[in-house]
Amino acid sequence: MLYSLLRPILFLAPADVAHSFGLWAFRRKTIWSILRRFYGVRDERLEIDIFDNRLMNPIGLAAGFDKDAELLHSMSTLGFGFLTIGSVRSLPHPGNPRPWLVRYPEQNALVNSLGLPSKGAAHVVSNLAQTHLDVPVFCSIAGESVDDFTAVLEKLQEHVEGIEVNVSCPNVERDGTFEDDLVMLDILVSAITEKKKRPILLKISPFLSRERDKMLQIVDIAKRRGVDGITAVNATPIPEARLGVGRGGLTGSSVRVEARRIVSEIYEEVQGKIPIIGIGGVSSGKDAYDMISHGATAVAFLTALIYSGPGTAQIMNKELLEMLTKNHFSSVKELIGYHSRTPS
């Protein structure tokens, strides 16, 4: 209710300014401790198991908002089943020149060109050491080289429940991503899985239909090298002259259909044997239901938090329960991959 009153005011400000205000607000721990009881949704039908973690629900916070593990206390009060911090780099990095963000309000979408700013792994480890939560925390990691990735992995992995390897961010400085060179990707994934002490998720790009073969090659590398799960998908690269670098990554409702298609194709390829975190345009319980029925074990969102406010996870969970009841599913576990497993 409060956010619906504040949103028109926030949306009068440039997106970068509103984003900074949101970060400031979520650093006010006392406020969110008081509000905690308003956001939780507890129902055993929502519970899922991923790796060795029991999640109270399948709705998570995607990487990109709490980049440096500075908002975990507040985020943990909002009814999420899991939180993803990062992407974290080994050393501090300022990101790209501003402006970083442009809204597409008519599409409930956003384009960003942050360029993976990070205060560095040591800062994040310090923050994690001071935070004790009952919500599992995963960490997205990034780097410019294999050594960069493995350095941040070794510093962080024992402090979180799992590591998401971000090889597909469209806003990095290097010419393309690791997905553009599958030999290098294979080397990177091999190096990471050799050092892993926690489950590893590989975050992939939003491949077009005509790129299906390449996407499946990447999934095959993940399977062969012992990756434990897939995050699908990252932001969609587009030109945007209003951003500091003239381009960015599109997220939000505009990418929902393509993200769901990719999740379904990956699920069919892995035969449901490894979990998929579905990301891309999830902004309602129905969206979560559709993504899970096409093969996602859980979903995560970020853009919907900006458009719908801190009560979004709670609303999604309530709507998801209504969808389960309406369609005669006893639990989220029963729903996973139903559409992909059932002949149309």
Residue environment code for 54-93, b if the CB has 16+ CB neighbours within 10 A, otherwise e:
ebbbbbbbbbbbbbbbbbbbbbbbbbbbbbbbbbbbbeeb
pLDDT per residue as tens digits for the range 238-265: 999 999 999 999 999 999 999 999 999 9
What pTM, to 2 d.p., does this model score?
Answer: 0.97
Q: What is the Cα–Cα distance from 329 to 137, expressed in whole angstroms? A: 28
**Residues linked to residue 301 through DSSP beta bridges, in sequence order:** 61
Task: Please check the confidence at residue 101 and state whether its pLDDT lies above 80.
Answer: yes
pLDDT per residue as tens digits for the range 41-81: 999 999 999 999 999 999 999 999 999 999 999 999 999 99
pLDDT per residue as tens digits for the range 186-204: 999 999 999 999 999 999 9
Task: Please tell me the predicted confidence (pLDDT) of residue 250.
Answer: 98
Confidence of residue 173 (pLDDT cuts 50, 70, 90): low
220: its two tokens = 């095959």
Give the fold, CATH level 3, of 2-341.
TIM Barrel (3.20.20)
The domain spans of the chain are 2-341
Task: Please tell me the predicted confidence (pLDDT) of residue 171.
Answer: 85
Task: Please check the confidence at residue 337 and state whether its pLDDT lies above 60.
Answer: yes
